[in-house]
Amino acid sequence: MAKSANLYARIEPEVKEQAEAILSALGIPASNAITMFYKQVILQRGLPFEVKLPEHPLDVSRMTAEQMDTELEKGYAQMKAGQVIPAKQAFDELRGELGV
């Protein structure tokens, strides 16, 4: 079937550039990638990936006493098994990841 429909979409320039760089490295033109996406929407009868809100990380204010006990027991078991690092090292690594 000949391609005769046009699709116009506005997206953030950085997103477009990054995606097109990856597609280029894969040898896939953006129009082909969009066609592949649309075909997957048809085959899956919906989005071809999960769309959901991320789970919250552990948050003490949201935990029940039972959940808190479970987490403390996990930490204690890890400590006894030697699966720990010094707090200074943990915070240094965290600062490094955050660029602080």
- For residue 4, being part of any structural domain is answered with no
- For residue 8, being part of any structural domain is answered with no
Domain tally for the chain? 2
pTM: 0.52
Residue type present at position 10: R
Q: Which residues contact 78 (CB under 8 A, 6 or more apart)?
A: 84
Q: Which residue has the higher pLDDT, 97 or 30?
A: 30
- For residue 52, being part of any structural domain is answered with no
- For residue 94, being part of any structural domain is answered with yes
- For residue 36, being part of any structural domain is answered with yes
pLDDT in tens, 21-34: 999 999 999 999 99
64 and 93 assigned to the same domain? yes
40 and 64 assigned to the same domain? no
pLDDT in tens, 70-94: 999 999 999 999 998 988 998 998 8
pLDDT on residue 45:
95
For residue 34, the enclosing domain spans 13-44
- For residue 55, being part of any structural domain is answered with no
Residue 97 banded pLDDT, cuts 50, 70, 90? confident
Tokens of 78: 């890890």
Q: Tell me the backbone φ, ψ of residue 53, rounded to 5 degrees.
A: -75, 140
